[in-house]
């Protein structure tokens, strides 16, 4: 299905992107370095720049920009030419940034109730209030805790550290370790960290790194308030952050906000007294902590970032107010302790971290791993929506842990790991991500976070379901399953229903005779015994439904969600009927052929069974098996992509409005017929892919999944989030356990039952972004792929799907249809990618259509053509093609029709004169398909248009006109012959799988030091001559796009010396050419460098001709 592409074609991905220097504003000189305040435009901006500022202000209010995060907005403004002061001022004007830049209000004066003045310990307070612990003012409890802790002690011993204080309070108030108590400890932390009455006394800082280990942790004391002078709350927070000259242990409570606030304050306090540089691989660890002195640009930049951190995070009201949905019993202080405690020297100090009652939460005493610690810390940062701020800190952590990451586990005692996080899936090391693409550095936290979500789901599946193998066999549990003795078990997930009955032909549609029982998870089940004759009680191919009673008493009837056969009788109703599919053994197809080996030189034939016949009707599986498979094999293709197989109510939707996901379309025949088609293809050595649609579903209610149990959120998101406004369809909730079972089992079902070899995932762009690509003009900037717009749930589903498929079927192929250019889409999951084998190069067909529509032949930009054809992400395989069903649908035209237009009706016979338009069309058609080597649309004369009301339900344009290629008097056969010759040569030489290097003149050191003839390498793009030359797999490819000029003795560079001969020429007469190039000629190289190659050879290259030479 076509993605919602931007109007200006697909994105052009740059390989050298400029990244923003920092995500937040920088205070002016003389300002408080810890608080950001507004800066007047009148003083910050030069008067003659007022027009520029006005345009920028309007730019920030545009719908495309207003929803972007502050880092993206800053980047946009920098591109507009604004300086830092102007940018800061404009950003502070935004309503969405008001909280970020505002100074917190002054706190209310503290007035201690008189009844608490006699209390000198938490025990005294409890005696006074009884069991009403929640009513105790946090400040009172902390003051009493500090007083009782210091009783009988002197000096620093009377002042507790943060951990000691909270442990002391928990010993006096055992209720604090309960679930409610952990919530109350959040209030205690807020009081301790914000109230000016509590002062953190640090040890004196030192510039001697060697003595840094000897510094002691911060200790707390109570200072009676001075009524005459009250400090603002932000000053209290600032004092706290500056009170930590080293990374000390965080407070011991279960509140994630506390951990994050103290971790951030400790961290910023620490680096404010040290020379600190952000991590830039492969910097040495020793370079991160200096001894002071003059700051360089990098250090100064980072200190500015620190000031912004204090102003924008520690003073952010949302951090104080919002309750984050995180299990408090899990988020104990071990995480922040491990990250900010002793990591500076990559070791753990056992004596400094004593966590009371931890064993009670972790009876199995699991040992924490560094990966767990890092993952949990990143969860805090992501939950607080401060990923960009946390990026530099994240790299600091990674830099300190790099020497010890590989061992994976530290055995420090007595801090056991929470059992839920003892994952079997290894963590993702950030270095692995950066090895794929160094420009991903600012987005590593987001990539690691989504990988951790993936790990959590995978671990959940392993623990609760027994792993992928069992989880993806949901079709053996849900729906209808028949035992050998004829017993039928039917299960359906419908938690909202209060009553369920199975109805159908077998029980004369009785709504009471076959009730289902519901379990605690909303799954309904019934077992139907065989008849007295020992046969299945439900006849094969009979109609069935499930009848549900809703809580309000109303009754609805639905097609079973896991049904494997549905049929449509348009004479009666467009609504589908569900059928119980259980053919006798004599009618069940048995596979004869093994799957072919996984192809390494993929040449895909895109096919639609329904339009594969030349007659004005719907084609069948059997006809496709008999008539089309031999054609595909003879044309040299090795992969078939079958479209519109999953049942869809509307034929003209091209199969992209799926109603029954487990039912192969009955329009073309039975499920057994489809099995025969795939088995026959395997016997011919053809790999078969299914065009899978998991990006959305048809909104039909009576014969679809929509409102299956009376709610709109069973399989889909609720409300507007669950509806695609352009496709008018429903959107899956990929964060739902049973939805994952349904979709992943759907993949396994087609791989196992029908023996498909893989999938082309449709609509991936719509899945990966919350905006679904609607109105998003992807420019290639990395900020577009991560952050708020990314749909982590959908991306994680794709990761799970790819991981499961490749785990169970290592030779499976998955292809992603994505127009956005998402990084890592075609990278394995364990390297931080989404896991697809290939991605479609969707910018290429758009480029050809634009050239043919808007440019004359002599205006073609060969540099742009070459860039578009070779533009792909390093290490990710892509499928290049010049046209597909998207380009051929009504409203557009096929490539052949763009080239030859109406003359195709009158001048395609050999009995007529070869007109200039037909000669040009044939020549360019061959060259374009050859330089793409491609997904074909053979025998498609004009365009595609399915029968619909708008064309009087005509099949005229919904069929394949095989007669035009079979007729030996028509010139269509020339294109068919060229396709076959090109594919067979590609299969023989394997050029499609040869690695690619960068263009001539570019730095190629990051990919190959010296490209060889086996690697794809473009040596010439001559705009004046309109000639492109490249080498691949030891072959020399020469394309002359010049419309009028042929070249004699044209010199081209070639890497390997020797004797060359022509193995393919588009000018051959059997391909509709003029036969001007002699095929028996020999071409000898001259050992002289030319166009960056070691040798050159001279050839004759006619106008609009492509040649392939081989040694």
pLDDT in tens, 521-548: 899 999 999 998 989 999 999 999 999 9
Report how far residue 304's alpha carbon sits from residue 297's, in angstroms, rounded to the nearest whole number. 11
What are the pLDDT digits (tens) for 933-976? Answer: 744 444 344 566 667 777 767 776 778 889 899 999 999 999 99
Per-residue pLDDT of 380-401, as tens digits, reads: 333 333 333 333 333 333 333 3
Q: Which residues of 474-489 are buried (b: 16+ CB within 10 A; e: fewer)?
A: bbeebbbebeeebebb
Mean pLDDT estimate for the chain: 75
Reading phi first (left if > 0) and then psi (alpha if -120 to 50, else beta), residue 728 is in left
SS3 337: helix
Q: Which residues are catalytic?
A: 762, 817
| Domain layout of the chain by residue ranges | 41-101, 114-216+229-422, 474-581, 586-769+792-819, 996-1111
Residue 609 has pLDDT above 60, yes or no: yes
Q: How confident is the model at residue 1020 (pLDDT cuts 50, 70, 90)?
A: very high
Q: What is the pLDDT of residue 892?
A: 66
In the numeric block, which tokens belong to residue 30? 């003389």
* Residue 361 CB-half CA count within 13 A: 24
Q: Helices (H) and strands (E) in the chain — how many of each?
A: 34, 30
- Interior CA angle at 586 toward 582 and 587, to 5°? 55
Class of CATH domain 474-581: mainly beta
User: How far is 444 from 369, CA to CA, in rounded Å?
Assistant: 20
Q: How far apart are the first and last CA of the chain?
A: 42
| 3-class DSSP assignment, residue 1029 | strand
Sign of CA dihedral 440, 446, 447, 448: positive
What does the pLDDT look like over 1069-1094, one tens digit per residue?
999 999 999 999 999 999 999 999 99
CB environment 717-732: b (16+ within 10 A), e (fewer):
beeeebbbeebebbbb
14-47, pLDDT tens digit by residue?
A: 222 232 222 222 233 333 333 322 333 333 333 4
Domain 474-581 matches domain 996-1111 at the CATH topology level: yes
**Domain 41-101, architecture per CATH:** Orthogonal Bundle (1.10)
Tally the C-alpha atoms within 13 A of residue 378's C-alpha that lie toward its C-beta. Answer: 27
Distances (CA, A) of 576 to 570, 608, 692: 9, 21, 20
Question: In 213-296, where does DSSP find H-type helix?
Answer: 233-242, 256-271
pLDDT digits (tens, 9 = 90+) for 339-369: 333 222 222 222 222 222 223 223 333 333 3
Check: CB of residue 997 under 8 Å from CB of residue 1069: no
Question: How far is Cα 1072 from Cα 927, in angstroms, rounded to an integer?
Answer: 12
Q: Please tell me whether residue 606 adopts helix, strand or coil conformation.
A: strand
Architecture in CATH of 996-1111 = Sandwich (2.60)
Higher pLDDT among residues 97 and 385, named by residue: 97
Interior CA angle at 169 toward 167 and 172, to 5°?
Answer: 110
pTM over 0.85: no
pLDDT for 648 beyond 90: yes
Cis peptide leading into residue 413 (ω within 30°): no
CB atoms within 10 A of CB 1007: 15
Question: At CA 523, angle to CA 519 and CA 525, rounded to 5?
Answer: 85
How far is CA 639 from its chain centroid? Answer: 26
Instruction: Name the pairing type of β-strands 604-608 and 1059-1065.
Output: unpaired
The contacts of residue 226 (CB under 8 Å, 6+ apart) are none
Per-residue confidence (pLDDT) for residue 285, from 0 to 100:
29
Alpha carbon distance 635, 981 (integer Å): 8
- As a whole number of angstroms, the distance between CA 281 and CA 398 comes to 10
What class is the 586-769+792-819 domain?
alpha beta
CB 662, CB 749: distance < 8 Å: yes
pLDDT at residue 417 is higher than 80:
no
Residue 889: beta bridge partners?
Answer: 944
Mean pLDDT of 772-777: 88
Residue 854 tokens read as 């808007």
d(CA 759, CA 837): 10
- The least confident of 159-163, 252-256, 791-795, 944-948 is 252-256
- Range 507-532 average pLDDT: 95
Q: Which residues contact 214 (CB under 8 A, 6 or more apart)?
A: none
Output the furthest CA–CA distance in the chain (Å, rounded). Answer: 114
Gap between the Cα atoms of 815 and 821, Å rounded: 14
């Amino acid at each position: 299905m076509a993605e919602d592409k931007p109007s200006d074609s697909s994105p052009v991905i740059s390989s050298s992107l400029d990244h923003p220097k920092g995500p937040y504003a920088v205070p002016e000189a003389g300002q408080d370095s810890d608080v950001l305040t507004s800066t007047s435009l009148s003083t910050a901006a030069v008067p003659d720049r007022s027009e520029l500022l006005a345009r920028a202000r309007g730019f920030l209010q545009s719908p495309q920009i207003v929803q972007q995060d502050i880092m993206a907005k800053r980047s946009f403004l920098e591109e507009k030419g604004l300086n830092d002061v102007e940018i800061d001022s404009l950003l502070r004007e935004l309503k969405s940034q008001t909280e970020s830049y505002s100074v917190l209000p002054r706190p209310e004066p503290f007035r201690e109730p008189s009844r608490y003045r006699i209390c000198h310990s938490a025990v005294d307070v409890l005696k006074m209030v009884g069991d009403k612990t929640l009513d105790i003012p946090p400040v009172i409890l902390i003051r009493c805790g500090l007083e009782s802790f210091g009783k009988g002690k002197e000096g620093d011993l009377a002042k507790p550290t943060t951990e000691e204080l909270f442990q002391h309070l928990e010993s006096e108030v055992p209720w604090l370790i309960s679930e409610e108590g952990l919530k109350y400890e959040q209030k205690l932390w807020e009081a301790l960290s914000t109230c000016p009455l509590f002062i953190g006394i640090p040890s004196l800082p030192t510039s001697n790194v060697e003595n840094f280990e000897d510094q002691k942790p911060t200790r707390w004391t109570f200072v009676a308030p001075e009524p005459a002078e009250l400090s603002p709350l932000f000053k209290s927070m600032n004092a706290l952050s500056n009170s930590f000259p080293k990374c000390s242990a965080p407070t011991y409570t279960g509140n994630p906000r506390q951990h994050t606030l103290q971790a951030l304050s400790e961290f910023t306090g620490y680096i404010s007294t040290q020379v600190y540089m952000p991590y830039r691989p492969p910097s040495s660890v020793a370079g991160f902590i200096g001894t002071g002195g003059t700051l360089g640009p990098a250090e100064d930049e980072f200190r500015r970032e620190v000031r912004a951190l204090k102003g924008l995070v520690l003073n952010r009201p949302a951090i104080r107010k919002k309750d984050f949905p995180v299990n408090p019993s899990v988020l104990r202080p071990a995480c922040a302790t491990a990250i900010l405690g002793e990591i500076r020297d990559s070791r753990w100090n056992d004596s400094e971290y004593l966590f009371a009652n931890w064993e009670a939460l972790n009876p199995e005493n699991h040992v924490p791993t560094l990966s767990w610690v890092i993952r949990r810390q990143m969860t805090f940062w992501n939950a607080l929506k401060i990923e960009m701020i946390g990026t530099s800190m994240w790299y600091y952590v990674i830099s300190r842990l790099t020497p010890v990451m590989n061992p994976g586990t530290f055995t420090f005692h007595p801090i056991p790991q929470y059992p839920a996080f003892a994952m079997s899936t290894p963590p993702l090391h950030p270095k692995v991500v950066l090895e794929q693409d160094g420009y991903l550095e600012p987005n590593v936290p987001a990539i690691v976070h989504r990988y951790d979500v993936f790990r959590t789901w995978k671990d959940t599946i392993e623990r609760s379901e027994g792993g992928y193998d069992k989880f993806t066999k949901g079709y053996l549990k849900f729906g209808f399953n028949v035992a050998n003795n004829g017993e039928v078990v039917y299960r359906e997930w419908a938690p909202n229903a209060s009553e369920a009955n199975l109805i159908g032909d077998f029980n004369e549609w009785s709504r009471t005779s076959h009730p289902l029982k519901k379990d605690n998870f909303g799954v309904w089940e019934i077992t139907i015994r065989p008849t007295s004759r020992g046969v299945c009680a439900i006849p094969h191919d009979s109609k069935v439904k499930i009848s549900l009673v809703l809580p309000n008493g109303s009754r609805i009837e639905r097609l079973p969600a896991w049904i494997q056969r549905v049929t449509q009788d348009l004479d009666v109703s467009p609504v589908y009927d569900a059928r119980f599919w259980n053919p006798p053994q004599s009618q069940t197809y048995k596979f004869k052929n093994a799957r072919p080996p996984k192809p390494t030189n993929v040449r895909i034939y895109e096919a639609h069974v329904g339009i594969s016949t030349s007659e004005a009707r719907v084609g069948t599986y059997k006809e496709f098996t008999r008539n089309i498979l031999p054609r595909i094999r003879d044309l040299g293709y090795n992969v078939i992509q079958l479209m519109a197989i999953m049942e869809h109510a509307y034929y003209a939707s091209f199969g992209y409005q799926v109603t029954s996901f487990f039912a192969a379309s009955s329009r073309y025949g039975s499920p057994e017929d489809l099995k025969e088609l795939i088995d026959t293809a395997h016997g011919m050595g053809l790999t078969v892919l299914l065009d899978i649609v998991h990006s959305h579903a048809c909104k039909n209610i009576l014969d679809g999944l929509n409102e299956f149990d009376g709610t709109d959120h069973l399989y889909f998101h609720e409300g507007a989030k669950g509806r695609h406004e352009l496709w008018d369809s429903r959107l899956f909730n990929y964060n739902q356990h049973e939805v994952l079972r349904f979709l992943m089992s759907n993949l396994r079902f087609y791989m196992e039952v029908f023996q498909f070899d893989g999938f082309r995932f449709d609509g991936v762009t719509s899945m990966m972004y919350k905006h679904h690509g609607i109105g998003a003009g992807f420019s290639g900037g990395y900020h577009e792929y991560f952050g708020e717009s990314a749909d982590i749930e959908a991306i994680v589903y794709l990761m799970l799907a790819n991981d499961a498929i490749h785990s169970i079927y290592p030779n499976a192929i998955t292809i992603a249809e994505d127009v956005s250019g998402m990084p890592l889409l075609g990278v394995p999951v364990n390297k931080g990618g989404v896991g697809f084998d290939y991605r479609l190069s969707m910018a290429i067909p758009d480029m050809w259509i634009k050239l043919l529509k808007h440019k004359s032949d002599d205006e073609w930009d060969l540099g742009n053509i070459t860039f578009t054809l070779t533009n792909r992400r390093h290490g990710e395989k892509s499928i290049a093609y010049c046209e597909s069903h998207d380009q051929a649908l009504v409203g557009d035209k096929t490539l052949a029709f763009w080239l030859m237009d109406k003359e195709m009706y009158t001048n395609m016979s050999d009995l007529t004169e070869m007109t200039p338009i037909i000669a040009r069309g044939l020549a360019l058609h061959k060259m374009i398909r050859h330089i793409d080597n491609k997904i074909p649309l053979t025998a498609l004369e004009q365009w595609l248009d399915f029968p619909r009301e708008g064309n009087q339900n005509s099949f005229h344009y919904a069929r394949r006109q095989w007669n035009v290629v079979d007729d030996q008097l028509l010139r269509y056969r020339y294109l068919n012959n060229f396709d076959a010759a090109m594919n067979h040569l590609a299969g023989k030489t394997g050029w499609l799988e040869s690695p690619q290097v960068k263009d001539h003149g570019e730095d190629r050191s990051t990919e190959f030091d010296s490209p060889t003839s086996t690697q794809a390498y473009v040596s010439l793009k001559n705009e004046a001559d309109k000639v492109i030359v490249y080498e691949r797999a030891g072959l020399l490819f020469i394309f002359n796009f010049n419309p009028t000029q042929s070249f004699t003795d044209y010199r081209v560079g070639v890497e390997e010396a020797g004797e060359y001969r022509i193995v393919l020429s588009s000018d051959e007469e059997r391909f509709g050419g003029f036969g001007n190039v002699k095929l028996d000629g020999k071409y000898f190289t001259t050992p002289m460098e030319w166009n960056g190659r070691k040798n050159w050879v001279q050839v004759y290259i006619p106008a609009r001709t492509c040649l392939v030479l081989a040694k």
